[in-house]
Amino acid sequence: MSSKQQFVALSDGHFIPALGFGTYKPNEVPKSKSVEATKLAIGVGYRHIDTAYVYHVEEEIGQAIQSKIKAGDVKREDMFITTKLWCTCFRPELVRPSLEKSLKNLQLDYVDLYIMHFPVPMKSGNNDFPADGQGKLLLDTVDFCATWEALETCKDAGLVKSIGVSNFNHRQLERILNKPGLKYKPVCNQVECHIYNNQSKLLDYCKSKDIVLVAFGALGTQRYKECVDQNSPVLLNDPVLCDVAKKNKRSPALIALRYLVQRGVVPLAQSFKENEMKENLQVFEFQLSSEDMKTLEGLNKNFRYLPVKCFADHPEYPYSEEY
Ligand SMILES: NC(=O)c1ccc[n+]([C@@H]2O[C@H](COP(=O)([O-])OP(=O)(O)OC[C@H]3O[C@@H](n4cnc5c(N)ncnc54)[C@H](OP(=O)(O)O)[C@@H]3O)[C@@H](O)[C@H]2O)c1
């Protein structure tokens, strides 16, 4: 494994690299750029790659991984690859075929982590966001506990090493944990988490259940126009964050990542720029004082860049709960 990475233990005995490389890019970015960027990321030391069926870059990520393996730069067993089950495939009979499709796209025999992308099921079909004539999303009523059982079967079949969830609130996690006949606990919950939404209650809950909190949007998201309010604060420009950065002679991005790592959170960081990719890996090279941690704690305002309001009408919309 790369000496640059550190690892966090998962409850099922596997280990997740403590910083992940995010692969989501809005549609206007040519997919071919994802191949080069992922090769670059592996080249500079990332071993944890986060993708999803719905990002529609699994094929590109697969090409990049295979090319680095063929070049002898990395071994499959040294990589930690996450992909996600999309919300139109929550019916139990659709879970394994969906995973198999992702594996084919990724040119892999197994993924390290397979997670339910969002706890709101939508009608199955060819459309990622099925809608009626008025543009209203067609939601479904599948119980995610049944979806979870299908994920357990995929783990038993060796198609995935670890299984987890994303964007679940603590009550939804509790429902899985209390499910009669539960075979495997979710190893992680991947949620939006950063200085403006530090998820302290959800983090405490997850820690108490041995569930790792993986953070997306750790750097304030890519502020994609279609999902993020363009008037929302630019996280990396936060004056308090910038002061802490100056004091520690590190960039605001590194401080934002270090704040999460030091709380036991596994952040994802997205960048297609080599200098930023390299810089973000320096997160393991320094520590923040407890005073700096406290200062950063004070920036929390439970703010979400990605409230995913299009799901707000569904009873499983996760953000109606406090945490
Ligand atoms: N589970 C979910 O529902 C969910 C939702 C959203 C995202 N995700 C995952 O989480 C990943 C990360 O989230 P994200 O893509 O929204 O964005 P992010 O990691 O918060 O990054 C935001 C932006 O920060 C900039 N950046 C990165 N390193 C930097 C550095 N060292 N200095 C200055 N700027 C830097 C990059 O912009 P520039 O390159 O322009 O500088 C990047 O686009 C995604 O790619 C995806 O894999 C999951």
Residue 134 alpha carbon to ligand 1 centre in Å? 32
pLDDT over 50 at 25, yes or no: yes
Q: Which atom of ligand 1 is nearest to the CA of 272?
A: 39
* Average of per-residue pLDDT across 296-315: 96
The predicted-structure confidence for 154-211, as pLDDT tens digits, reads as follows 999 999 999 999 999 999 999 999 999 999 999 999 999 999 999 999 999 999 999 9
Residue whose entry in the numeric block shows the structure tokens 């993708």? 51
Instruction: For domain 7-315, say whether CATH 3.20.20.100 is its number.
Output: yes
Establish whether 117 is an annotated binding residue: yes
Residue 91 alpha carbon to ligand 1 centre in Å? 30
Query: For residue 111, what are the CA distances in angstroms to 85, 173, 322?
Result: 12, 22, 32
Residue 219 alpha carbon to ligand 1 centre in Å? 6
The reported pTM is 0.98
Residues whose beta carbon lies within 6 Å of some atom of ligand 1: 22-24, 50, 117, 166-167, 190, 216-222, 236, 251, 253, 268-273, 276, 279-280, 306
Asked if 146 contacts 182 with a C-beta cutoff of 8 angstroms, the reply is: no
pLDDT over 60 at 1, yes or no: no
Question: Which own/partner pairs from 71-80 qualify as long-range (CB within 8 Å, at least 24 positions apart)?
Answer: 73/42, 73/43, 74/42, 74/47, 76/108, 78/1, 78/2, 78/47, 79/42, 79/47, 79/48, 79/49, 79/112, 80/16, 80/17, 80/20, 80/47, 80/48, 80/49, 80/112, 80/113
Tokens of 262: 């030091």
pLDDT of residue 4: 65
Cβ contacts of residue 184 below 8 Å, gap of 6+?
12, 152, 155, 163
pLDDT over 70 at 250, yes or no: yes
Residue whose Cα lies nearest atom 29 of ligand 1: it is 276
Q: Report the Cα 220 to chain-centroid distance in Å.
A: 14
Q: Which sequence spans correspond to the domains of the chain?
A: 7-315
User: Which residue, 50, 6, 26, is CA-closest to 166?
Assistant: 50
Please state, in angstroms and rounded to a whole number, the distance separating the CA atoms of residues 55 and 61. 11
The predicted-structure confidence for 34-43, as pLDDT tens digits, reads as follows 999 999 999 9
Site to probe by mutation for ligand 1, drawn from 219, 281, 306 as the one with most ligand atoms within 8 Å of Cβ, is 219
The predicted-structure confidence for 276-295, as pLDDT tens digits, reads as follows 999 999 999 999 999 999 99
pLDDT of residue 2: 44
Please state, in angstroms and rounded to a whole number, the distance separating the CA atoms of residues 300 and 200. 9
Model confidence at 226, in pLDDT bands (50, 70, 90)? confident
Q: Report the Cα 186 to chain-centroid distance in Å.
A: 14
Across the chain, mean pLDDT equals 97
Residue 58 alpha carbon to ligand 1 centre in Å? 17
